[in-house]
């Protein structure tokens, strides 16, 4: 009778006993990667490039530490990500990013130049992307209440992203995801596609960045069950509620990104009481059903937009955010459509979106669906079980508890029944 409780206690204690061994192994992995790929930077080289990591060289603070701008002796400008000390999870994600990017080469994926692994210093060296991230141009607030401004030109940040540039961002991100899903050495699921992880170069070409949460995906599998990590407002319903991860999870995030690019509005903080819409995809769907897709468009795009392209992108965004992953197109089809090759698009149904609120809604006579609705923002790292532990984001921590049941025998699109409690 005592054997079972003893085994249970041992299972709880064992991870802590081997924690230090795991840290050492992860550090050795990073050093091995650097040596194998022959992309090793000397620590002194990066100290000189960043002026000893001077505060004026700091570009920002990532999830796992600060990022500094630097210039190498050969003239290349670089962004140096420095792992914050004392973070076991940080070392793991840091090593994960190094492994994934060591063999990835695509114009729409940020280029990793190399590594530095010396004792407790872990650094990744990337190409410097001058225009910063997409979210700055879409969502940055103006001091006077607008969304953002350009001190040099005296214009709104959003105005710099005319329709042609936004369309090229949509197409570029789609091509980057297609490469990761189908053309990389091993399929890669990013797991955190959102505007802040899309960098824009000097030609406004997008580059997918921040692979700390990404994972390799075995080619012989259609999906895996995993711990839920990502950002509220961009994660697919089946991933949030069941931990079911596939390339269609990235497709869902891409769909949200497309709708944000069109509207200039952020899904994670979206609510429109006048239209009874509590997520951006829901609002887009309501407009689509009325034949008013162009009403979703950011007002600053009126003079540059191509109506047919806008309507097509709204349609694609809605298809990508369908509740049932089987109803979402893969990225190859999305790229084909965006590349102006004729294709018949299916009629989208109501999207299933983790938006700004969880709220129960009845969709049809046989079952009901829950749309996300308590104010949710930031990045989560929760268990894929029905009850999950506290999760930490850059901004805050939340505990998410879910109770979920599904009708596995139904041939209709998956409809999820759930209860969520959010503790701030």
Q: Which pair of tokens denotes residue 127? A: 């190409």
Does residue 393 carry a pLDDT above 70?
no
State how far the Cα of 192 lies from the Cα of 210, in Å rounded to an integer: 8
Question: What average pLDDT does the chain have?
Answer: 74
pLDDT in tens, 55-72: 999 998 866 788 999 999
- The answer to whether the Cα torsion of 204, 210, 214, 218 is positive or negative is positive
State how far the Cα of 94 lies from the Cα of 84, in Å rounded to an integer: 10
Residues 308, 311, 314, 315: what is their CA dihedral angle, to the nearest 10 degrees?
-90
Name the 3-class secondary structure at 54: coil
Name the nearest CA neighbour of 233 among 202, 268, 208, 278: 268
Q: Is residue 377 very low, low, confident or very high in pLDDT (cuts 50, 70, 90)?
A: very low
Instruction: State residue 411's pLDDT score.
Output: 28
Name the nearest CA neighbour of 278 among 386, 229, 327, 350: 350
Instruction: DSSP for 242-257, please give it.
Output: H-EE-HHHHHHHHHHH
- The answer to whether the Cα torsion of 341, 342, 346, 349 is positive or negative is positive
State how far the Cα of 67 lies from the Cα of 72, in Å rounded to an integer: 15
Residue with tokens 């000390």: 85
Helix intervals (H) in 140-230: 157-160, 163-178
State how far the Cα of 416 lies from the Cα of 404, in Å rounded to an integer: 7
Mean pLDDT over 1-20 rounds to 53
Half-sphere exposure of 273 (CA within 13 A, CB side): 0
State how far the Cα of 382 lies from the Cα of 392, in Å rounded to an integer: 9
> Which of 52-56, 143-147, 411-415 is modeled with the greatest confidence?
52-56
State how far the Cα of 56 lies from the Cα of 68, in Å rounded to an integer: 9
Ordered domains of the chain (ranges, CATH): 21-127 (3.30.200.20), 157-338 (1.10.510.10), 358-423 (no CATH)
Does residue 28 carry a pLDDT above 90?
no
Poorest-pLDDT segment among 41-55, 127-141, 281-295, 368-382: 368-382
Q: Is residue 7 very low, low, confident or very high in pLDDT (cuts 50, 70, 90)?
A: low
Does residue 168 carry a pLDDT above 70?
yes
Whether the model pTM is above 0.95? no
Name the nearest CA neighbour of 233 among 264, 198, 274, 278: 278
Better pLDDT: 236 or 381 = 236
Beta strands in 273-356 (DSSP E): none
Instruction: Indicate if 149 belongs to the active site.
Output: no
Better pLDDT: 66 or 271 = 66
Q: Which of 74, 183, 192, 298 is catalytic?
A: 192
Does residue 23 carry a pLDDT above 90?
no
pLDDT in tens, 201-237: 999 999 999 877 676 555 555 555 556 677 889 999 9
Does residue 408 carry a pLDDT above 60?
no
Does residue 361 carry a pLDDT above 90?
no
Contacts of 225 (CB under 8 A, 6+ apart): 242, 243, 244, 245, 384
Contacts of 290 (CB under 8 A, 6+ apart): none
């Amino acid at each position: 009778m005592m054997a079972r409780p003893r085994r249970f206690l041992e299972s709880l204690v064992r991870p802590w006993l081997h924690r230090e061994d795991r840290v050492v192994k992860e550090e050795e992995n990073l050093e091995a990667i650097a040596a194998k790929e022959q992309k090793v930077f000397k620590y002194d080289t990066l100290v000189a490039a960043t002026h000893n990591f001077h505060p004026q060289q700091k570009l920002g603070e990532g999830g796992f530490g600060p990022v500094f701008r630097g210039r190498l002796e050969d003239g290349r400008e670089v962004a140096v990500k420095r792992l914050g000390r004392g973070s076991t999870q940080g070392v793991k994600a840091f090593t994960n990013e190094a492994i994934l990017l060591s063999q990835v080469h695509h114009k729409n994926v940020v280029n990793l130049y190399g590594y530095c692994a010396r004792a407790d210093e872990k650094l990744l060296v990337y190409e410097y992307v001058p225009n910063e991230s997409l979210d700055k141009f879409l969502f940055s607030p103006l001091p006077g209440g607008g969304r953002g401004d350009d001190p040099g030109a005296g214009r709104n940040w959003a105005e710099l992203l005319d329709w042609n540039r936004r369309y090229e961002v949509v197409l570029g991100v789609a091509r980057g995801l297609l490469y990761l899903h189908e053309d990389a050495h091993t399929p890669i699921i990013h797991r955190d596609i959102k505007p802040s992880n899309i960098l824009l170069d000097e030609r406004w070409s997008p580059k997918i960045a921040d692979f700390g949460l990404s994972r390799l995906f075995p080619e012989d599998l259609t999906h895996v069950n995993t711990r839920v990590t990502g950002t509220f407002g961009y994660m697919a319903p089946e991933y949030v509620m069941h931990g079911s991860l596939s390339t269609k999870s990235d497709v869902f995030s891409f769909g949200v990104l497309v709708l944000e690019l069109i509207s200039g509005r952020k899904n994670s903080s979206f609510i429109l009481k006048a239209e009874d819409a509590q997520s951006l995809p829901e609002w887009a769907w309501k407009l689509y059903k009325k034949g008013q897709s162009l009403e979703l468009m950011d007002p600053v795009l009126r003079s540059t937009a191509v109506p047919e392209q806008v309507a097509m992108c709204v349609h694609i965004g809605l298809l990508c955010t369908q509740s049932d992953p089987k109803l979402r197109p893969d990225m190859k089809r999305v790229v084909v459509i965006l590349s102006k090759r004729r294709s018949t698009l299916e009629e989208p149904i109501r999207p299933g979106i983790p938006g700004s609120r969880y709220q129960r809604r009845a969709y049809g006579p046989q079952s009901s669906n829950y749309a996300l609705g308590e104010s949710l923002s930031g990045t989560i790292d929760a268990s894929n079980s029905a009850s999950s532990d506290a999760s930490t984001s850059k901004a805050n921590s939340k505990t998410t508890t879910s109770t979920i049941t599904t009708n596995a025998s139904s041939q209709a699109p998956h409809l999820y029944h759930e209860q969520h409690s959010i503790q701030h």
